[in-house]
Amino acid sequence: MTDVVLSISGLCKSYDDVVAVDELDFEISKGQCFGLLGPNGAGKSTTLGMLEGMEEPTSGSVRYFGKPFPADYQDRVGIQFQATALQDFLSPFDNLKLFSSFYDDPIPMDRLIDQFRLNDFLHRDARRLSGGQRQRLLLALALVHNPEIVFLDEPTTGLDPRSRRDLWDVVSQLKADGRTLILTTHYMEEAEVLCDELLILSHGKTLLQGAPKKLIKEAGVSDLDTLFLSLTGEPLVKTQEVIE
């Protein structure tokens, strides 16, 4: 039997006239890489915000091992912030030092520097990092306090194919460490490679849930892109921006 870390039931979030998340029910097991997949505006980030304990649901609940969030929940989760969270005038080294200073028992910096291969640009101005380098630094910063659950909101959007694969390797390592990973993505290929379980969202609702291979097999399609297109009549990714 697997341990359920997060159980989500009847989860809804509305903003004025927008229903961003509409009655979601799912569970996330310990050690799983769980993916939220869907086009722009599907409700992925809003859902993530509620699982992180950063946003209050309008109705429904998120329970941690069957209970409301404990007082120290924020210490148990690591959130890969967007690039704006970086202290731009600091180098990756100084950013790491700053984040480490927030915690009593941080992971030794050397370990993070090795694991995320920050050495080549450790003392560079953070404004001069490439997209892939920045994402690796942001991931290292999310892990400083050795969290059980790691949240990644579109970790590879805007990266070129090589940097994307490079980040996949890093995410796979986190999975091998036994952490629970929850990520959002627009990319079906990424979901197929990284995720054990997928929730495909459209307009705040669940379209499908299951293991990527199982979803593909049951639908009798060649890949998840084709599946999404067949379900919604629209492609998942309309444009692909590359910033690097």
Ligand X SMILES: Nc1ncnc2c1ncn2[C@@H]1O[C@H](COP(=O)(O)OP(=O)(O)OP(=O)(O)O)[C@@H](O)[C@H]1O
Residues at the interface with Mg ion (CB under 5 A): 44-45
Structure tokens, 189: 């290929």
In the complex with Mg ion, the residue whose CB is nearer, 84 or 101, is 84
Q: Which helix (H) or strand (E) holds 153?
A: strand 149-153
Q: 205-210 and 197-202: which strand pairing?
A: antiparallel
| Residues of span 26-85 touching ligand X by CB under 6 A | 38, 40-46
Tell me how far, at minimum, the Cβ of 44 lies from Mg ion, in Å.
Answer: 5
Q: How far is the CB of 154 from Mg ion (least distance, A)?
A: 6
Parallel, antiparallel, or unpaired: how do β-strands 4-15 and 59-64 relate?
A: antiparallel
42 binds, among ligand X, Mg ion, none (CB under 5 to 8 A by kind): ligand X
Is the Cβ of residue 117 or residue 205 nearer to ligand X in the bound state? 205
Q: How far is the CB of 52 from Mg ion (least distance, A)?
A: 13
By CB under 6 A, what part of segment 100-129 binds ligand X? none
CB 209 within 8 A of CB 199: yes
**Residues 6 or more apart whose Cβ sits within 8 Å of residue 227:** 188, 208, 215, 216, 219, 221
CA-CA distance, 208 to 132, in Å (whole number)?
Answer: 31
Residue among 112 and 236 whose Cβ is closer to ligand X: 236
Q: Which residues of this chain interact with ligand X, rule CB under 6 A?
A: 15, 18, 20, 38, 40-46
